[in-house]
């Protein structure tokens, strides 16, 4: 089932590449941000099924955005060149896709996150 995705990534070219990959995987990016301020507003107010978050956004931590998404009960995972070593302490154990990533890796992370959501809710999104 296609998902609507919030994408927070500060590097414009990487963000464009991720949008293309997400769309190629059959999903849609319904909101995107390149900085923490806009990302925090979207995390709080936008309608989306899941979020994909860079860990380091313009030198700022993603933690406030991840916290806002978690409070809403929305699923998310990280994409990062740092791998799991950069994950904020409060979100250790959250899935991380290492950049640069292949379409298959991103698609797998999306599907895993969505299937966990469906299992927790015992139904479709």
Residue 59 maps to which CATH number? 3.40.50.2300
The pLDDT assigned to 50 comes to 96
The pLDDT assigned to 120 comes to 64
Q: Is the dihedral of CA 119, 26, 94, 40 positive or negative?
A: negative
Paired strand residues for 54: 79
The pLDDT assigned to 123 comes to 47
Residue entry with tokens 């302490």: 89
CA 92 to chain centre: 15
Tell whether pTM > 0.85.
Answer: yes
Dist. CA 66–CA 62, nearest whole Å = 6
CB 63 within 8 A of CB 70: no
The pLDDT assigned to 83 comes to 80
Dist. CA 120–CA 76, nearest whole Å = 14
The pLDDT assigned to 115 comes to 86
Average pLDDT of each block of 10 consecutive residues along the chain (125 residues)? Answer: 95 96 97 96 97 94 95 95 87 93 96 80 51
Query: Which range of residues forms the domain containing residue 89?
Result: 4-121
Report the domain count for the chain.
Answer: 1
Q: Is the dihedral of CA 80, 39, 20, 25 positive or negative?
A: positive
């Amino acid at each position: 089932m296609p998902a609507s995705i919030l994408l927070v990534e500060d590097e414009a070219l990487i963000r464009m590449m991720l949008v293309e990959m997400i769309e190629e995987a059959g999903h849609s990016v319904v909101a995107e941000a390149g900085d923490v301020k806009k990302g925090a507003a979207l995390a709080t107010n936008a309608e989306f099924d899941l979020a994909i978050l860079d860990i380091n956004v313009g030198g700022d931590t993603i933690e406030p955005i991840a916290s806002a998404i978690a409070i809403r009960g929305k699923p998310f995972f990280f994409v990062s060149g740092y791998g799991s070593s950069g994950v904020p302490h409060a979100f250790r154990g959250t899935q991380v896709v290492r950049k640069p990533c292949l379409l298959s890796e991103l698609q797998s992370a999306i599907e895993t996150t969505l299937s966990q959501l469906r299992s927790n809710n015992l139904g479709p999104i």
